[in-house]
């Protein structure tokens, strides 16, 4: 695998850390600014919303820029935003900085995955995306707990400065390792690019991505109260559970990319969504046993995070055929779909959540997984040569 792809993964690690570390810092931020924790939580929800809304718009506007220069500019902006966040002395300013940071995040991931795929042969495209996305999942395992610990031990400001340093290192690596990457020539104006939202080939794929992430985050968002109230774990046990889920997500990210390369997106998504539904349903039983829930969290994390590399690679491959001039925008829309799913799943899980029965969120997650399987079954995979059907995949399994 080219070292340039690894440099993209390092950048993804920095971005993933700054996205999620804020969750562990919310109590300290609320205290520092004299606001409620729920108000501080806007730093999380507005971040996801900014990715969802801003990514497709900025991806379309910047489509004509040279991709190498754009990736470097986005990482410089990301680094400066983290420095500004660490220095910020007012909550509205910090919120505005997070919104700008989120847009840079979304555009970088959408563009970065297309670049990663362009650096390897087509048959390894899923693995290239998986390696890049693994930076995000590794951040969930190490960067987020580590950043939270540093914030509690020293200062809420320090994690932002550490991430800024990581961003600077990632920028230097990209500058040194990325080859010259031309712009998407003939990308058209912003309206023609956003017409992708009417594409019969791509919109169902965005729906699969959104529903797949919504299924997981309907439950995962409320995992902490589930582990404390149902399993009876303390704060250290909850941290262990989150890390176990994160380890599973790393395995799933790499495995999802390989599965997609070998057997195609239709078969891979069927496996991922079916496994996701079963592993979440198993929580209804395993949640009452600490050892079982830890094993369950690992398996659940693996199936859940097999979905992003499968769907991101699939969107790029099909966009190269149906919308070759705006592949970067198509990939950016998929990143937006993921975050829309995260926000939507969290909302639906919250509506089902009751203080007496945290496990009610599991039913929402399983139902969304089943809906995802229906969307996969209804999609006309045979219309797209870039996508391998389940029948083709089964033939490969037998050989």
Question: Are both 232 and 284 inside the same structural domain?
Answer: yes
Last residue of a domain, one of 165, 183, 201: 183
Q: Which of 237, 362, 253 is nearest to 306 (CA)?
A: 253
Question: Are both 260 and 371 inside the same structural domain?
Answer: yes
Residue 399 has pLDDT above 70, yes or no: no
Last residue of a domain, one of 162, 183, 204: 183
Question: Are both 241 and 296 inside the same structural domain?
Answer: yes
Question: Are both 54 and 154 inside the same structural domain?
Answer: yes
pTM for this entry: 0.79
How many domains does the chain fold into?
A: 2
Question: Are both 134 and 195 inside the same structural domain?
Answer: no
DSSP for 220-267 reads HTTHHHHIIIII---HHHHHHHHHHHHHHHHHHHHHHHHHHHHH-HHH
Last residue of a domain, one of 149, 166, 183: 183
Collapse the DSSP code of 350 into the 3-class scheme (helix H, G, I; strand E, B; otherwise coil) and give the result.
Answer: helix
d(CA 14, CA 103): 15
pLDDT at 390: 41
Question: Are both 154 and 263 inside the same structural domain?
Answer: no
Question: Are both 156 and 249 inside the same structural domain?
Answer: no
Mean pLDDT of the chain: 85
pLDDT at 258: 87
Give the range of the structural domain holding residue 51, as residue numbers without chain letter: 1-183
Question: Are both 332 and 396 inside the same structural domain?
Answer: yes
Q: How confident is residue 91, by pLDDT bands cut at 50, 70 and 90?
A: very high
pLDDT at 30: 85
Give tens-digit pLDDT for 336-392: 898 889 888 888 888 887 656 789 999 999 999 999 999 999 998 876 655 554 444
Question: Are both 218 and 148 inside the same structural domain?
Answer: no
Question: Are both 249 and 348 inside the same structural domain?
Answer: yes
137-151, 277-291, 341-355: range with highest mean pLDDT: 277-291
Q: Which of 149, 51, 64, 45 is nearest to 101 (CA)?
A: 51
Q: How confident is residue 183, by pLDDT bands cut at 50, 70 and 90?
A: low
Residue 158 has pLDDT above 60, yes or no: yes
DSSP state of 180: P
Give tens-digit pLDDT for 264-273: 888 999 999 9
Question: Are both 256 and 376 inside the same structural domain?
Answer: yes
Residue 395 has pLDDT above 50, yes or no: no
Give tens-digit pLDDT for 188-234: 556 666 677 778 889 999 999 999 999 998 888 788 888 888 999 88
Q: Which of 93, 115, 145 is nearest to 4 (CA)?
A: 115
d(CA 169, CA 174): 9
CATH number at residue 319: 1.20.1250.20
pLDDT at 362: 95
Question: Are both 244 and 292 inside the same structural domain?
Answer: yes
């Amino acid at each position: 695998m080219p070292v340039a792809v690894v440099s993209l993964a390092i950048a993804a690690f920095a971005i993933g850390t700054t996205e999620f570390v804020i969750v562990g810092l919310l109590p300290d931020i609320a205290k520092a600014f004299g606001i409620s924790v729920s108000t501080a939580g806007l730093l999380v929800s507005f971040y996801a919303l900014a990715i969802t809304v801003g990514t497709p718009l900025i991806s379309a506007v910047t489509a004509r820029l040279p991709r190498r220069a754009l990736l470097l500019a986005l990482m410089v902006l990301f680094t400066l935003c983290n420095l500004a966040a660490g220095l910020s002395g007012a909550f509205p300013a910090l919120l505005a900085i997070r919104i700008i940071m989120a847009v840079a995040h979304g555009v970088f991931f959408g563009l970065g995955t297309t670049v990663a795929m362009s650096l390897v042969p087509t048959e390894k495209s899923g693995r290239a995306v998986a390696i890049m996305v693994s930076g995000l999942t590794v951040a969930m395992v190490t960067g987020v707990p580590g950043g939270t610990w540093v914030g509690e031990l020293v200062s809420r400001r320090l994690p932002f400065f550490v991430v800024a340093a990581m961003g600077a290192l990632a920028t230097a690596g990209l500058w040194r390792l990325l080859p010259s990457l031309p712009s998407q020539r003939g990308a058209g104006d912003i309206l023609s690019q956003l017409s992708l939202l009417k594409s019969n080939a791509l919109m169902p794929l965005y729906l699969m991505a959104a529903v797949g992430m919504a299924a997981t985050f309907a439950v995962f968002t409320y995992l902490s109260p589930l582990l404390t109230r149902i399993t009876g774990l303390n704060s250290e046990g909850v941290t262990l559970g989150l890390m176990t889920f994160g380890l599973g997500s790393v395995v799933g990210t790499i495995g999802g990319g390989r599965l997609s390369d070998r057997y195609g997106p239709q078969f891979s998504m069927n496996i991922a969504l079916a496994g996701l539904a079963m592993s979440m349903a198993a929580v209804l039983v395993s949640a009452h046993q600490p050892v079982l829930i830890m094993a369950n969290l690992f398996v659940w994390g693996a199936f859940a995070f097999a979905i992003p590399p499968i769907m991101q690679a699939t969107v790029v491959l099909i966009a190269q055929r149906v919308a070759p001039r705006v592949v970067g925008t198509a990939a950016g829309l998929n990143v937006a779909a993921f975050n829309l799913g995260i926000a939507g799943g969290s909302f639906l899980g919250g509506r089902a959540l009751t203080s007496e029965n945290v496990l009610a969120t599991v039913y929402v997650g399983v139902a969304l997984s089943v809906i995802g399987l229906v969307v996969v079954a209804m999609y006309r995979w045979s219309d797209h040569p870039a996508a391998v059907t389940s029948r083709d995949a089964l033939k490969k399994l037998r050989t």
